Chains A and B, each alone.
Chain A
Amino acid sequence: GAGVSQSPRYKVAKRGQDVALRCDPISGHVSLFWYQQALGQGPEFLTYFQNEAQLDKSGLPSDRFFAERPEGSVSTLKIQRTQQEDSAVYLCATQLGNTIYFGEGSWLTVV
């Protein structure tokens, strides 16, 4: 596609519910990142893939967060047993050289 596509754009989850957020990267972009952006804050790194390999997951805030990219293209960020503090925009980005391409983000609100 023309850009990084994320779905759903908006998600309201009840506390304790599991959610899955999808990222369709730009075709051919090997590097894929997930960021979490809380209201009024800068994006915070969560995890990084190079093709299907998850090379860095040091930013995942807890073991309730899990990300995968099984075929080196589409990636899914899963959050289990959501909590209110998980409410944020989740940004997916791909990288070519030093240029980062962001998706529009998935806005998660946990109520």
Chain B
Amino acid sequence: GENVEQHPSTLSVQEGDSAVIKCTYSDSASNYFPWYKQELGKRPQLIIDIRSNVGEKKDQRIAVTLNKTAKHFSLHITETQPEDSAVYFCAAIASGNTPLVFGKGTRLSVIA
């Protein structure tokens, strides 16, 4: 089955700096890669996703890149703000009938 590894487990950045979180996956059949932000006590919230037919997607300060050959994908947050502080999870899925497999999460702290 699919296995998703996520690094780093914790990340501290100064406000205004960029943050990068990296994930690798094992199942070459995986074709959809969402990223979730989870604040304490809240449900995971989808912030951006990428499908296997594109290499990069950007939404304002957030971007995701995908390297299918190397089976890794990354989340980039630019101009970080204190409200970006949360736990971020990557995930991978092979098809609509299979469960999302999550990474173990990255706790991002943005220091003002």
List A residues at the B interface (Cβ < 8 Å): 31, 33, 35, 40-45, 48, 50, 55-56, 59, 91, 93, 95, 97-100, 102-105
Contact = CB atoms under 8 A, between A and B. Distances in A.
A40 B89 CA distance: 11
Contacts of B104: 41-42
Q: Is the interface of A mostly helix, strand, loop or mixed?
A: strand
Contacts of B89: 42-43
A35, A44, A102, most chain B CB atoms within 10 A? A102
Interface residues of B, number: 22
Interface of B: 6, 32, 34, 42-46, 49, 51, 89, 93, 96-105
Given A42-B89, A43-B89, A104-B42, A98 B102 contact: no
Contacts of A100: 34, 46, 100
